[in-house]
Structure 1
Amino acid sequence: MDRGGVRRRLALGLAVLTGSVTLALALPGAAQAAASTCSGREVRTLPFSTGSVHVYRQGGYLCAVTTPDHPGRKQAMSVTVQARGNRPVTDKGRYSYHAGPVTVHAGHRCVRVGGSVGSGSVRSGWILC
């Protein structure tokens, strides 16, 4: 390969690396935390006044994380997931960036999801049936 080809590949690699770093720095900490805690694809977001619950699915498993609108200071947070026919699984406490992840085996059953940050909360009905 000639020098021009090597330079073009190095320039492209540097551009991709720079873009990745810029994107990572631009994302808020809560979004980075939510993205790194659950595997699978995001199938639902439940926003509420003080945050949001992100729901992910991979195979027959469902994972949920609650993230605050203003991360960084400890505050009361919770996330709950319940597959129809089973008991709810909850993570609650005082967290800075997210509550959860909470993972349950849902198979093809409906689930209920809920979460809270401070005084705001959200509860879904039976979803993802």
Structure 2
Amino acid sequence: MVRPLRSSRPWGAEETLAGSRRSRGRRALAYLLVLPLLAPLVLALGAPAQAAAACSGRHATTVSFAKGELRVYKSRAYVCAVTVAKKPGARRAMSVSLQARGGRPVVDEGRFTTRAGPVTVYALNRCVRATGAVAGSSGSTGWILC
């Protein structure tokens, strides 16, 4: 025998909905209480890695020069480079160039305040060379990661 349904909700669904609203409110209150405690921790962990976040992979090498530094990162098949100014501020000429052996260089140049790049090349089983410049001061790696 088939009984007709009076409602699409099971018995006691009204109470369940009210209970879930209450638990959502408690969860939201818990997030509001915990969030201010976690915010300084998140900001402290994220701030030094600001330039590193531009490139993925492990840090391979850094070349320092008078007005900045060139940072090179390597993942399995790709190499990434970024030029970072030592004293960020006013816009100035900055550039970064990355070249895999046998390929053309990939360049990012312009007037930037903090960094030039990132530039990425496919370099599985290939040497690469990188060059970075900030306001006339430059540094280069030569052929690396061979």
* Residue of structure 2 in register with 1:37 after alignment: 54
Match of 2:93 among 76, 88, 100: 76
Q: Residues 9-30 of structure 1: CA distance to partner in whole angstroms, max 9, x if unpaired?
A: xxxx9766533323545x4xxx
* Residue of structure 2 in register with 1:9 after alignment: none
Q: CA deviation at 1:40?
A: 1.0
Point out the structure with the larger strand share.
1
The amino acid that maps onto 1:116 is A
What's the TM-score, normalizing by structure 1? 0.78
* Residue of structure 2 in register with 1:106 after alignment: 123
* Residue of structure 1 in register with 2:41 after alignment: 19
Higher gyration radius (CA):
2
Give distance in 2, aligned partners of 1:64 and 1:92: 13
What's the TM-score, normalizing by structure 2? 0.70
Give distance in 2, aligned partners of 1:54 and 1:46: 7
Paired positions, count: 115
Q: Residues 64-113 of structure 1: CA distance to partner in whole angstroms, max 9, x if unpaired?
A: 00000011221100000010111111111101111011000011111111
More relative contact order in 1 or in 2 (CA 8 Å, sep 6+)? 1
